[in-house]
Amino acid sequence: MPHKGSPLKSSSALQNIIDMKMQGLKVDYYAGYEGEPEIRFYITPEKVDFRSDRKIGQGEDGIYFFSVWNGYFDIIAHALFERANRNSVYTKAPKFLKDWNQHIGWSWDNSIPELVPAEEITWLLRELAIMQEEKEAYSKELESELTIYDCIRDLMRFLAFAEKENMEIKVSSE
């Protein structure tokens, strides 16, 4: 199911909007870690079926992606789980994060990216925003990885853009 927001009029208009919005946004937090596990968040303007084992260039077939080294994703995910557990809301954590944590589903079993429901993106954006605001609370866990905060900020911008533009959001382990 696509995310809430206004539908886009045409693919050329979409291309222009994406190119304009993506300027200045770093979408590659995997460079330098080639050969190690990579997490990708894909956004598409409409239902586009594809396999993540196919080499896809940024913008190809209307598909854009945000790449994260699994080490960064691990730190972010565990900080999210720690926060959820502390607030007794683990059961509300997104299924895609729980699946990754339990080594099932999208992160282990196939090369077809998993669609992330709108409510999971909304939860993720809210929790990441809180993490950004409360940097000091996570300073011990994240102190050696200041890049994490840049990654969180850019991932939030990427996902918020997709949510606002009614785009599908998928995730996979590469």
- Please report the pLDDT score of residue 111 as a whole number: 65
Please, what's the largest Cα pairwise distance for the chain? 46
pTM: 0.80
- Please report the pLDDT score of residue 99 as a whole number: 85
Please, what sign has the CA dihedral across residues 152, 173, 16, 11? Answer: negative
Q: What CA–CA distance (Å, rounded) separates 82 from 88?
A: 10
Segment 37-84, tens digit of pLDDT: 999 999 988 777 776 667 788 888 888 899 999 999 998 998 888 877
Q: What CA–CA distance (Å, rounded) separates 101 from 107?
A: 9
- Please report the pLDDT score of residue 10 as a whole number: 47
- Please report the pLDDT score of residue 35 as a whole number: 92
Query: Taking 90 as the threshold, does the pLDDT of residue 28 lie above it?
Result: yes
Contacts with 90 (C-beta within 8 Å, 6 or more apart), sequence order: 81, 84
Of the candidates 84, 174, 146, the residue with the CA atom closest to the CA atom of residue 120? 84
Output the six-digit token pair for 151.
Answer: 């990654």
Q: Considering only 22-26, 62-66, 151-155, which range has the smallest mean pLDDT?
A: 22-26
Output the six-digit token pair for 25.
Answer: 């946004």
Strands of the sheet with 114-115, listed across from one edge: 28-29, 64-69, 38-44, 168-173, 114-115
Neighbours of 130 (CB within 10 A): 13
For the chain, the domains span: 11-173
- Please report the pLDDT score of residue 3 as a whole number: 42
Q: Are strands 38-44 and 168-173 parallel, antiparallel or unpaired?
A: antiparallel
- pLDDT confidence bin for 88, thresholds 50/70/90: low
Contacts with 5 (C-beta within 8 Å, 6 or more apart), sequence order: 163, 164, 165, 166, 167
